[in-house]
A and B are shown apart, each in its own frame.
Chain A
C-alpha cells in the first residue's frame, strides 16, 4: 500500500506541468550556476598558477641573506574547486600577502580588480538549493494536504482502508523524491563536468567534500519539505498555508542568515581592521623605533669608518656590522605583529562563532554553515591561511638568521616557500556536525509535528 501511495505521489508530481516546469527551472539554474562558477574558478586558477610561478622566480636572483631579508616575499591565496558549490568567504577575497622587512604580513586589498561582483548575491549551488529550491518546494507543496482537504479528495482517500500514517508517509516519501531528482541530476552533471575538466584539479578530497555537500543539501530539502507538509496539515485553508510558508521563508531564509553574522560581530565587539592596525602601530612603534635606531647607529658607524679610512663599501662586512641589530629588529617586529594578528584572528573567530550560533535558528543558516565548512570556504580556511602566513613569515626570518649566524653560503633554493595545506575532510565534517544535527532535529520535529497532527486531523 505504501509503495502504491509513493508511486501515486511521484507520478502526480512528475506529470503535473507546474512541478515539471519548476524543477526544470531548478535543474537549469543548478547546472547553469555550476558552469559559470567553474569558468570563473578556472580563470582564477590560471591566474594563481601564473602569479605563483612569477613570484617564485622573482626571488631567484637574490644572492645574499640580507638581500633575501629585504626582498618582498609574496604568498597567494589558492582557489579550490569546491567553491563552485559554496562560495562562502571566497567571494572576491583578498588574495595577496606581502612579507617585507619590518612590516605586518597580512592579506592586502587590491583596487585593480572589478568589485562589482559584490553588488549581487553569488548564485552558487548553495544559493540555488537554499533559496530558490526551498521557495519552489513551499510554493508547489503548500497545498499537499490542505488542498486535498479543500477539494474533498482527502475525505475519499481516508474513507478507504488506508491507515493515516501510511498516507502521510506516502506523501512525504513521494513528495520528497521529486525535488531530490533535479538536485541529484544537477549534482551528477556538475561532477561529470569536473571529471572532464582535469585543469580544475579536483582530487579525492574534493570529491568527498562535494558528496558530503550533496548529502547536507538533501537533508535540507527534506527539512524544508517536512516544514511545508507540517504547515499544510496545520492550516485549514491552502491560502493560509502559503502565506505562513512565505512568511517563514522570508524570515528564515532571507532575514535570519543575513543578520546573524553582523549581530555576532557586534556582540563579539570585534574591532575593525583599521583600528587594529592603528592600535598595533601605536603599541609597537616606539619599540620598533628604538630597535631601528640601534640598527641605524651601527650602519652610521660603518659609513663613518669607511669614509674616514677612504675605503669602499663591502656588503659582507656591512652585514656583519649591522647583523645582530638587524636580527633583533626583525625578530621583534615579526613577533609583535604576529601577536597582533593572533588577537585579531581570535576576535574574528569569536564573532564568526556567535554569528553561526544565531544563524542555526534557520534551516538555511544550518545549510550555509555546513556547506561552507565542507567546501572549505569559511572561517577555518581563513584562520588556517592567516596562520600559514604567520608561519611563513617566521620561517623566512629564521632562515635568514640561520644563514647569517652560521656564515654559510646563501642558496635561494633552500629558502622557505609559502605552502598552504587545507584542513582535510574529517576536520570539515567536525566543523559542521552541529549544523547537520540541527537540521536533523528540525526535520524530525517538523515531520513528527505534521504526522501527529495528521493522525488527528479532521478530513472535512
Chain B
C-alpha cells in the first residue's frame, strides 16, 4: 500500500505540467551558467599560462639577483575547474601575488575586474540550487496537502482504509524523488558538458568531489521539499501556504546568510588598515633608532672599510629585522581575520542555505578553509622565496667582495667574476596543493548532518501536522 501511494504521488507529480517545467527550469538554469563559466574558465586558464610564461621570461632577462629586488616574483594559483560548478571564493584565490621584492608583498586586482561581474547573483550550479531549486521545491510542494483539501480529494482519500501516516510518508518520499531525480540528471548533464563537450580536464579526485557536491545538493533540496510539505500540513489554504513558504524562504535563503557577516563583524572585528600601518610605522621608527648602533658595530668589525659597504650591511640588517617583525604583525592580523571567518562559518549553520553554500564551496575547493589554506601556502612560499633570494644575493656579494679584495691586494691577471644569471627555473615554484578530499569531508560532515537532521525534523513536523489535519 505504501509503495502504491508513492507510485500514485510520483505519477501525479511527474505527469503534471508543473513537473515538466521544473525539470526544464533546472536544466536551463544550470546549463546556461555552466556553459558560460566553462568558457570563462578556459579563457582565464589560458591567460594564466601566458602570464606565468611572461613572468618567467622577465626573470630570465635580468642580469643579477639584485634586479629581482625591483622586479619581484609573481605567483598565483591556477584556476580551479571545479569553480565552474561552485565559484565560491575563486575570484579572490586566483589573484596574483608579488613577492620577493624590496616592497611589501602586494596582491593584484581580481583577474576579471569589471564591476558588472560583481552585480547581483553570480550564477553557478551551487547558486542555482541554493536560490532557485529551493524555491522550486517549495513551489512544487506547498499545496501537497492543503491543495488536495481544497480540491476535496483529501477527504475522499482519508475516507478509505488508508492510514494517515502512509499518506504523508508517501507524499514526502514522492516529493523528494520528484525533485532529486531531475537534480541528479542535471548534475550528470552539466559534468558531461564540461568534461566531454568542452574538454576541460578535471584535477585528481574531482569525480569524488562532484559526487559529494551532488549529494549535498540532494540533501538541501530534500530539506526544502520537507519544508514545503510541512507547511502544507499545518495550514488550511494553499494561498496561505504559498505566502508562508515564500516568507520562510526569504528569511532562510536571503536574509540570514547576509545578516550573519554583519553580526560577526561586530562580535569579532578586524582592525582597520590604518591601525596595521601605524604599528608597522612604529616598528620602522624603532629600527631607525637602533640603526646608529648597528652602524657602529659594523664599523668596529674592521672588515668593512667603505661607507658604502657599511650602509649595505646596515640596510640589509634593517630590511631583515623589519621583515621579521612586520611578518609577526601580519600573522597577528591574519589570525583576527581567520577568527572572524571561523565564527562566520559556525554561526552560518543556523541557516540551511549558508550551511549548503559553505559545505559545497569547500567540497569544490573554493571555500573558506581552502582560502585560508592558500594564504598559509603563500606565506610559506614567501618565506622560501625571501630565503632563496637572500642566499643568492649573499653568494653574489661574496664573489664580488673576494674579487675586490684580490684586486686591492694587487693580484695580476684577474678576470671579473662571472655572476650566475637569474633564471625562473632556479626559483622555487609555487605549487598550490589543495586540501585532500578526506580532509574536506572531515570539515563538511557536520553540514551534511545539519541538513539531514533538518529534513528529519521537518518530516516529523509534517507528520504531526498531518496526523491532526482537519480535512
Q: Is B54 in contact with A120, judged by CB distance below 8 angstroms?
A: no
Describe B's contact surface by its main secondary structure. helix
The reply to whether B32 and A246 form a contact with Cβ atoms under 8 Å apart is no
Question: Counting CB contacts under 8 A, is B154 at the interface?
Answer: no
Nearest Cβ on chain A to B137's Cβ, whole angstroms: 13
A18-B240, A118-B91, A266-B39 given; A351·B273 CB < 8 A: no
Q: Does B414 contact A (CB under 8 A)?
A: no
Q: Is the CB of B110 within 8 A of A273?
A: yes
Contacts of B122 in A (CB 8 A): 118, 121, 258
Q: A114-B261, A117-B261 are in contact. Are A262 and B36 (CB under 8 A)?
A: yes
Instruction: Give complex CA distance A271, B357 in Å.
Output: 29
| A121 & B131 in contact (Cβ 8 Å cutoff) | yes
Q: Which residues of A contact B29 (CB under 8 A)?
A: 250, 254-255
**CB <8 Å contact, B337 and A277:** no
Q: Are B239 and A307 in contact (CB under 8 A)?
A: no
* Chain A residues, CB < 8 A from B225: none
Distance from B122 Cβ to chain A, minimum over Cβ atoms (Å): 7
Nearest-CB distance from B16 to chain A (Å)? 9
Q: Report the minimum CB–CB distance from B58 to chain A (whole Å).
A: 5
Contact A257 B119 (CB under 8 A): yes
Determine the distance from Cα of A277 to Cα of B108 in the docked complex, in whole angstroms: 9
CA distance A377 to B120 in the complex (A): 12
Whether, in the assembled complex, A368 has its beta carbon less than 8 Å from a beta carbon of chain B, the answer is yes
CA distance A126 to B121 in the complex (A): 11
Interface residue B315 (Cβ < 8 Å from any Cβ of A)? no
Give the size category of A's interface with B: 35 or more
**Do B132 and A88 touch (CB < 8 A)?**
no
**Quick one: which of A1-52 are within 8 Å of B by CB?**
17-18, 21-22, 25, 29, 32, 36, 39-40, 43, 47, 50-51
Q: Which residue of A lies closest to B238 (CB)?
A: A18
B interface size (C-beta, 8 A):
102
What residues of chain A lie closer than 8 Å to B262, measured between beta carbons? 36, 39-40
- Whether B337 and A265, one on each chain, are in contact in the complex, defined by CB atoms closer than 8 angstroms, is no
**Which of B68-76, B294-302, B454-462 is found at the contact surface with chain A?**
B68-76
Q: Which residue of A lies closest to B122 (CB)?
A: A258
B391 an interface residue at 8 Å Cβ cutoff? no
The reply to whether B120 and A115 contact each other, CB–CB distance below 8 Å, is no
Q: In the assembled complex, which residues on chain A have CB atoms less than 8 Å from the CB atom of B189?
A: none
The answer to the question of B431 belonging to the interface, with a C-beta cut-off of 8 Å to chain A, is no
- Cβ of B112 < 8 Å from any Cβ of A? yes
Q: Contact at A127–B120, with CB atoms within 8 Å?
A: yes
> Which segment of B164-172, B252-260, B397-405, B418-426 sits at the interface?
B252-260
B274/A51 in contact, CB under 8 A: yes
Q: Is B116 a contact of A116 with CB atoms below 8 Å?
A: no
- Quick check: is B428 within 8 A (CB to CB) of the other chain? no
Bound together, the chains give a CA A422 to CA B113 distance in angstroms of 20
Tell me the complex Cα distance, A109–B89, Å. Answer: 13
Q: A318 near B: Cβ within 8 Å?
A: no
Comparing A152-160, A211-219, A282-290, A449-457, the segment that makes contact with chain B is A282-290
- Give every chain B residue within 8 A of A243 (Cβ-Cβ): 17-18, 21
- Asked whether B432 is an interface residue with its Cβ less than 8 Å from the other chain, the reply is no
Q: Provide the bound-state CA to CA distance between A96 and B61, in Å.
A: 31
> Contacts A88-B118, A255-B32: A25 and B247 contacting too (C-beta < 8 A)?
yes
A313 CB-CB contact with B under 8 Å = yes
Q: How far is the CB of A84 from chain B (nearest CB, A)?
A: 13
Asked, given contacts A246-B25, A274-B47, whether A282 binds B54 with beta carbons under 8 Å apart, the answer is yes
Say whether, besides A29-B255, A255-B123, A277 and B273 are in contact (CB < 8 Å): no
**B132 touching A254, Cβ below 8 Å:** yes
From B43, B274, B337, residue with most partner A Cβ within 10 Å? B274
Contact B71 A18 (CB under 8 A): no
Given the complex of chains A and B, what is the CA–CA distance between A21 and B71 in angstroms? 62
A126-176 CB contacts (< 8 Å) to partner B:
126-127, 130-132, 136, 139
Contact A114 B270 (CB under 8 A): yes
Residue pair B114, A265 in contact (C-beta under 8 Å)? yes
Q: Is A324 an interface residue (CB 8 A)?
A: no
A82-96 CB mask vs B (1 if < 8 Å, else 0) is: 000001111111101
The smallest beta-carbon distance between B357 and chain A, in angstroms, is 5
* Bound form: Cα–Cα A17–B255 in Å: 23
Chain A positions 35-87 with a Cβ under 8 Å from a chain B Cβ:
36, 39-40, 43, 47, 50-51, 53-55, 58, 87
Set of chain A residues within 8 Å of B203, measured between Cβ atoms? none
Q: Which residues of A sit under 8 angstroms from B50, Cβ to Cβ?
A: 275, 278
Is B33 in contact with A123, judged by CB distance below 8 angstroms? no
B107 to chain A: closest residue by CB: A109
With A36-B258, A39-B262, A247-B25 as known contacts, state yes or no: A265 contacts B117, CB within 8 Å: yes
Who on chain A is nearest to B366 by CB?
Answer: A119
Residues from chain B with Cβ under 8 Å of A240 in the complex:
17
Separation of A212 and B328 alpha carbons in the complex (Å):
49
- With A139-B242, A243-B17, A348-B113: A119-B54 Cβ-Cβ less than 8 Å: no
A109-B108 contact in complex given A36-B259, A116-B344, A285-B71, C-beta closer than 8 Å = yes
A263 near B255 (CB under 8 angstroms)?
no
| B108 A54 Cβ-Cβ under 8 A | no
On whether A17 and B118 interact (CB within 8 A), knowing A111-B107, A273-B109, A274-B108, the answer reads no
Residues of B within 8 A of A58 (CB): 277, 281
Distance, CA A279 to CA B53, complexed state (A)? 10
- Whether B250 is near chain A, meaning CB under 8 Å from some CB there, is yes
* CB-contact partner of B71 in A132, A270, A281, under 8 A: A281
Q: Is A382 an interface residue (CB 8 A)?
A: yes
Return the 7 tightest CB-CB contacts between A and B, nearest first: A89-B115, A109-B107, A54-B274, A258-B123, A261-B116, A278-B54, A272-B111
Interface residues of B (CB under 8 A from A): 17-18, 21, 24-25, 28-29, 32-33, 36-37, 39-40, 43-44, 47-48, 50-52, 54-55, 57-58, 61, 67, 70-71, 74, 76, 88-89, 91-92, 95-96, 103, 106-123, 127-128, 131-132, 139, 239-240, 242-243, 246-247, 250, 254-255, 257-259, 261-262, 264-265, 270, 272-274, 276-278, 281, 306-308, 330, 333-334, 337, 340-341, 344, 353-354, 357-358, 361, 368, 371, 375
